[in-house]
Amino acid sequence: MATFQYLLDKVRQAPFETEPFKHVYITDFFSRDDFARIVADPQIKLRPAKDDRDLVNTLHAAGYKEISFPGTTTDVETYLAWHNSGARQTGVNNENCEGFGVTMRLKQPQPGSILADLDRFMRTRAFWSVLADKFGIDLDDVTPDSGIQKYLDGYEISPHPDIRRKALTFMININPAEDSENIEYHTHYMRFKPEHDHIRVKWRDETDKEREWVPWSNCETIRLQRPNNSIVIFHPTEETLHAVRANYDHLGTQRTQCYGNLWYSKPGPLGSYWSMPATVARKVVSIFR
pLDDT tens track for 63-75: 999 998 887 889 9
Would 5 be classed as within a structural domain?
no
Whether the per-residue pLDDT at 273 is higher than 50: the answer is no
Question: Which residues, listed in sequence order, are joined to residue 105 by a DSSP beta bridge?
Answer: 65, 149
- What is the C-alpha to C-alpha distance for residues 198 and 204, in angstroms, rounded to an integer? 10
- What is the C-alpha to C-alpha distance for residues 147 and 174, in angstroms, rounded to an integer? 12
- What is the C-alpha to C-alpha distance for residues 152 and 77, in angstroms, rounded to an integer? 14
Residue 226's nearest CA partner among 73, 54, 27, 65 is: 27
State the DSSP code for 222.
Answer: E
Mean model confidence pLDDT for the chain:
89
Quote the pLDDT of residue 278. Answer: 43
Exposed e or buried b per residue across 24-47, where buried means at least 16 C-beta atoms within 10 angstroms of its C-beta: bbbeebbeeebbebbbebebbebe
Find out whether 36 and 44 touch, Cβ atoms under 8 Å: no
Contacts of residue 189, Cβ cutoff 8 Å, sequence gap at least 6: 20, 21, 23, 221, 222, 223, 224, 225, 232, 241, 242
Contacts of residue 38, Cβ cutoff 8 Å, sequence gap at least 6: 30, 44, 114, 115, 118, 174
Note the pLDDT tens digit of each residue in 192-202.
Answer: 999 999 999 99
Find out whether 208 and 269 touch, Cβ atoms under 8 Å: yes
Would 60 be classed as within a structural domain?
yes
Would 168 be classed as within a structural domain?
yes
- What is the C-alpha to C-alpha distance for residues 19 and 250, in angstroms, rounded to an integer? 31
Would 131 be classed as within a structural domain?
yes
Would 8 be classed as within a structural domain?
no
**pLDDT band per the 50, 70, 90 thresholds, residue 90:** very low
For the segment 28-46, the average pLDDT, to the nearest whole number, is 98
Percent above pLDDT 70 for the chain: 86
- What is the C-alpha to C-alpha distance for residues 272 and 257, in angstroms, rounded to an integer? 22
Whether the per-residue pLDDT at 46 is higher than 70: the answer is yes
Find out whether 21 and 237 touch, Cβ atoms under 8 Å: yes
Would 276 be classed as within a structural domain?
yes
Contacts of residue 9, Cβ cutoff 8 Å, sequence gap at least 6: none
Helix axes 125-134, 6-13, angle to 10 degrees: 10
- What is the C-alpha to C-alpha distance for residues 73 and 67, in angstroms, rounded to an integer? 8
Q: Domain of 106?
A: 17-283
- The number of distinct structural domains making up the chain is 1
- What is the C-alpha to C-alpha distance for residues 4 and 172, in angstroms, rounded to an integer? 14
Would 93 be classed as within a structural domain?
yes
> What pTM, to 2 d.p., does this model score?
0.89
Note the pLDDT tens digit of each residue in 119-171.
Answer: 999 999 999 999 999 999 999 999 999 999 999 999 999 999 999 999 999 99
Would 288 be classed as within a structural domain?
no
Note the pLDDT tens digit of each residue in 205-255.
Answer: 999 999 999 999 999 999 999 999 999 999 999 999 999 999 999 999 999
Contacts of residue 286, Cβ cutoff 8 Å, sequence gap at least 6: none
Residue 221's nearest CA partner among 186, 245, 188, 244 is: 188
CA angle 175, 79, 82 (to 5 degrees): 115
Whether the per-residue pLDDT at 263 is higher than 50: the answer is yes
CATH number for the domain that contains residue 80? 2.60.120.620
